[in-house]
Amino acid sequence: MSTSDYLNEGGSIVVEPEKREVKVGDIFYTSWGYDQTNVEFYKVVRATKATVWVQQTGQTREDATYGGGDYWTTKSTGEIKGRAVYNRETGEYDIKYPPITQHRIQYGYGDPAIRINSVVNAWLWDGQPKQASTGH
């Protein structure tokens, strides 16, 4: 029996799954919404054993073959994209990037997750397209 295994109430050995290590370059995704499904992707830009710093990435969109355009699949591009913002003082455009945010890593059955805010969690992305939708 390893140090991560334990005995349950019935006396059986319960094997705890190994915690997957999170590393720079890994991507987390969210999937949330009430009458629509929003999907966002976050790239790990710094990591320790217990904490990650992430920045939102761009994503691609591919319309689904059902739902009349209300549904699509999306994948992370892995790129941190800035957007042009007009600066009234200089009369020029500045590039503004998504903020880098810090999150504590939480584990469920060995899989890492992070809390983006009080109602949205993000899970480690497996590279597969995720389904999103508009409100109906």
Domains of the chain by residue range: 13-133
Per-residue confidence band for 8, with pLDDT thresholds at 50, 70 and 90: low
| Model pLDDT, residue 58 | 87
C-beta separation of 56 from 34 below 8 A:
no
Per-residue confidence band for 1, with pLDDT thresholds at 50, 70 and 90: very low
Q: What does the pLDDT look like over 58-102, one tens digit per residue? A: 888 887 655 555 777 888 888 888 888 898 999 998 888 889 999
C-beta separation of 124 from 25 below 8 A:
no
What number is the average pLDDT over the span 19-37?
Answer: 90
pTM for this predicted structure: 0.78
| Model pLDDT, residue 48 | 95
Residues 6+ apart with CB under 8 A from 22: 44, 47, 52, 105, 112, 124
